[in-house]
Structure 1
């Protein structure tokens, strides 16, 4: 991408979009286009079409999505499938019709079957049943992938799809009602430390294995793929290694400095038993992550503390 090309980041205020914005600005890209949710409703096809017609966008990073953890997915399944389908459909179609040169569509490794072999290869897509707790979200993401592939085949577009593993970092959601496991645990341990609570309760058995990638590494991978990858097939982005939820909780406990006990509420769902992305395709292209989990947890906790202090002023 040329430094002066017009680049639209859909979802620039979110976890992934804000990381892309930071990275692109740091690399010297100076023609970035953003619209807040209040300025542009991506679920409204007419608004999205008018925006693309007016702006003449060159490149698109499609990072806008309705996201959440197990509780949010289970509570709002209609919103998760509807909003994500509408946003992807409107942006992908308007990008084609307005002559966008290249688009990167961000998905998630939750698109893979619940009981797929590990690690998750890109070829496992649509080979089995999805995890029921996030099926509506996953189906919307799969539809976006297939839409990009169909437009490439029929219209000759350059739309690529990237499947990141579990993400964390600055601008994550730390609300216990709709956040993912890592930020939820970070907040739980912090509050337990502040209140001198005797224990922190973790959902499930602690046995599921998960992989966690710092969002700044994902942003770097997205820019790398935008510049080096032209295929229609999806590409996984991850660390290439995982750990149990119990091990994650213990690491967060150390980072926060909490000295109490960890307990597990086995009445709560575990979700998918294991979710490790096969990253051999991306690593084979010459890209690898740079931020270790311990380093990323420490920097994310410091960011969280700064936000807490600002909120208290």
Structure 2
């Protein structure tokens, strides 16, 4: 990518797309294009095709998606598979049709089988059964990977697929029911502190282990890969380290300054026992994250507090 190339960021208002936008602006890229969902419905093929025909972007970051935590994924199963399939199919096809130089599709670590060996290697895709609670979302993301591969195979398109681990950071969703585990913990522990609630109930046993990557680090990896990576095979983006949900809760507790305790509700689902990415492929290219989990939680909590001030 050259600094004056036209770059389309699909999903620029989300946490991932917003981080990519900030990274590109910081690096001096000046010809960025993006639309709000009110003016461009990515689920609508005709609207997407017209947008690509008019704008003719050279590069595309496909970060737009319908996302949510375990409750949202399991409750709105049809919405998650339908909307994500439509978004990625429309954008990928339009990128081919209108001669985009390169497209990056952003997936998710949930594409891997529930009981896959740890850490998760790229070649484990489609080797086993998915976690049921987010299966529709995972299938949609797998379809996006396969779309990129198929358009590369048939038409020679330089479409690449990047699989981030669990993400958090600036612009995250802190909804009490529909958010992912880390932002949900930040909100609930903060509210417990503010309201002098003596204990916080956490879904599951606290034993599942998860890996977390700060949003700004992901954006740095995405721009790095857009400049350097041109292979058909998907590539993992993560930190190569994980923590248990219980350990995570105590890290958030320390950052927030909460003095209460935790109760783990084992009647609620744990989800996949462990999700740790193998990042050797990315490391071999020369990229590594820079934000520690503890520092990232501090930055995320600062962002949450700003949102709370606006909301009030």
Aligned to 1:72: 72
Aligned to 1:98: 98
Provide the C-alpha distance between the structure 2 equivalents of 1:143 and 1:5, rounded to a whole number of angstroms: 28
Aligned to 2:302: 302
| Worse-matched range after superposition: 302-311 or 209-218 | 302-311
Which digits, 9 at most, give the CA deviation of each residue in 1:259-307, with x for residues without a partner?
Answer: 0011111111000000000000000100000100000000110111112
Provide the C-alpha distance between the structure 2 equivalents of 1:208 and 1:308, rounded to a whole number of angstroms: 29
Provide the C-alpha distance between the structure 1 equivalents of 2:309 and 2:131, rounded to a whole number of angstroms: 38
- Deviation of residue 88 (structure 1)? 0.4
The answer on 1:236 being equivalent to 2:228 is no
Q: CA RMSD in A?
A: 0.5
The answer on 1:180 being equivalent to 2:188 is no
Aligned residues: 312
Relative to the length of structure 1, the TM-score reads: 0.99
Which digits, 9 at most, give the CA deviation of each residue in 1:51-83, with x for residues without a partner?
Answer: 000001100000000000110011100000000
Q: Which runs of 4+ in 1 moved over 6 A?
A: none
Provide the C-alpha distance between the structure 2 equivalents of 1:296 and 1:243, rounded to a whole number of angstroms: 14
Provide the C-alpha distance between the structure 2 equivalents of 1:242 and 1:16, rounded to a whole number of angstroms: 20
How does 1:1-313 map onto structure 2 within 5 Å?
A: 1-312=1-312
Relative to the length of structure 2, the TM-score reads: 0.99
- Deviation of residue 178 (structure 1)? 0.5
Which digits, 9 at most, give the CA deviation of each residue in 1:235-264, with x for residues without a partner?
Answer: 000010001000000000000000001111
- Deviation of residue 311 (structure 1)? 2.0
- Structure 1: runs of 5+ lacking an equivalent: none
Provide the C-alpha distance between the structure 2 equivalents of 1:190 and 1:293, rounded to a whole number of angstroms: 18
- Structure 2: runs of 5+ lacking an equivalent: none
